[in-house]
Structure 1
């Protein structure tokens, strides 16, 4: 009889490159203000819920049949929505999945894998590197600026040089960037594309709808760039995190290649129905974006007044520094019913812009912790 424990035996069977990894996940706790996962704090409006129920009423009796494998009507709705931005996007340029993470998985399955490399610029969305690892794709951790005047930003020359050194098959650029909230200029995207003639360049725009006026979208660069991809989601601005619908826009040929790696009928009929209904009510679903941006800007202003160092944000969250011990402050806020995100950057935490009441709860809790939580604890401003 083997004396080896079942758990150690199974771990020995696990792929070697996964044995030291930990599952991705953020705490899901019952608190008065859950501001750790960048969800939209506003519920789906009643009129949209009613339309979703009507769509589901038509879809549910047909669940004995597989859903539309090509999610044709959903792609048409997504292309119409993207075209509202001023750049014409055709249905055959659109792909969708169960959250943008599945879309990212499809890209890495198709263009990454053993013997191939991807690069991203940290700190950034951790799932880019995690999904790369799960597909056997080597990962290069690119660098963002450490200059206090340009902290966490990217410039075209630096990005181009790092890409040239890495020689990747995929490049990931997040704009607005998670967890820093910083947006990227189109010159950076153009430089990345030019520096990577053998790579697919992925611009993750999950938070694009929250960007400040004048912030450009990489959608405007798609024409004539067959290796450029822009990913989006309905989770954030559309308040549909539980709906799990992410999508991308790219060259039609690139979209066609993703069919090689997707699972058959990967988007369920209920998922397609809910997303179609949400997109029919685009203006209603996006009606809270302005309110969220107001709270984001309020966070930047009031965190500064409290003596912390918030990073100007184009997303629905704010990364703020100046903390003596980020973990200690995280726990102190949680003890007061406020859950924020410790993103692993020393002296920084990230807070989602929620409702006015949630924002007040966070600011009040942070203020109650007192100046000892700041690096410069002698500053009582």
Structure 2
């Protein structure tokens, strides 16, 4: 990829980030601001991942194979927002930063079927043909009947509970470490009408290595697929946000629910799983409330390293942070909360791999 093209990709990425920030609105943060935790790990992680990128290339992996080591395509984008500042903290040159970013964007372009920055309001992991085939072969339940409506309600509740659990485990914006939403796809539904397909994939619910004190959830994976009529409009941004005008159930014509690879059509079973997951979320809140500030910081960093576990496994190492990071977490005083939140113009400069830190700030 030529340098002007890289610049266009970075600009497109930054604009899509701004759109996603606007869509997110006021986010309920975790107990610690990321600016207080970054000094413990961001520079160490950045140097480590750049080194591993070179190692993976030397092993013969191309951009698409490297991107496949992320938990999800979405996570490759959201995690970049911490990684780029870490590269700057580490003093890595612009060329190294752009090389890493460009490799990820190139890999995403190979693995996704639509615009990787979701500028058209879609996050397309399936081709048109794959989406049509899925809509044709999935086991759908008619959501316009009384029984089907009840199942759809239970399925949405289960999805909401699972998303709350992922949110509570991986620190606000990192839900795509365990969950991804994709679509909307234009397909033909089982009723023969043109429909909109939206797919929610939970692929790593409640990783026990991060939170061993929590009970094992009732399932490990959930896929909720839904078909919608044209009474609503759907879009998805780069941060996994599904946007729509009306209540989801209002436009839903059919649902398909798979848990751990098996179809679920029993309302009671879906509700029982939802209740069990909500119970774990409540327990997780108690766990988090009982952690010290340093324990919270440690969990934050471990979650971040967990996201890159396959990168480290592919290069022969444990996913856990190195001793230097744990030493900092033990010995270095925690920075104070920032006095104010940065403006978008400031954030844009922070996230732009082409820009160094201003000389006045070190």
User: What band does the TM-score fall into relative to the shorter chain?
Assistant: under 0.3
More helix by share: 2
Task: Give TM-score scaled by structure 1 length.
Answer: 0.27
